[in-house]
Amino acid sequence: MKIKTEFWGKSSKDGKEIYKYYLTNSSGAQVVLTSLGASIVSVIVPDKEGILRDVSLGFDDTDSYFDDGAYLGRVPGRFANRIAKGHFELNGKEYNLAVNNGPNHLHGGPWGFSYQVWESRVLDNAVEFMYISEDGEEGYPGTLKAVAHYEWADDNSLKLTLTAETDQDTVVNLTNHAYFNLNGEGNGTIEDHILKLNCSEYLPTDAGLIPLGEPAPVAGTPLDFVTEKKVGRDLHEDFPALTIAKGYDHCFVIDGYLPGQLQTAAELYSEKSGIALEVITTQPGVQVYTGNWLGDAKGKNGHVYPDYGGIAIECQHFPDSPNEPEYPSTVLKPGETYQEAIIFAFSVK
**From CA 20, how far away is CA 122, in angstroms rounded?**
11
**From CA 166, how far away is CA 333, in angstroms rounded?**
6
**From CA 147, how far away is CA 120, in angstroms rounded?**
9
The size of the chain, in residues, is 349
Q: Is 346 helix (H, G, I), strand (E, B) or coil?
A: strand
**From CA 147, how far away is CA 136, in angstroms rounded?**
19
Which one of 128, 138, 165, 314 is the catalytic residue? 314
> Residues 135, 136, 141, 147: is their CA dihedral positive or negative?
negative
Which one of 105, 128, 151, 177 is the catalytic residue? 177
Phi, psi torsion values for 83, nearest 5 degrees = -125, 125
Phi, psi torsion values for 300, nearest 5 degrees = -70, 155
Side chain identity, residue 156: N
Residue 177: active-site member: yes
Q: Residue 105 contacts by C-beta under 8 Å, 6 or more apart in sequence?
A: 79, 82, 83, 85, 86, 97, 98, 99
Q: Is 288 helix (H, G, I), strand (E, B) or coil?
A: strand
Q: Rg of the chain over CA atoms, in angstroms?
A: 19
Which residues are part of the catalytic machinery? 177, 314
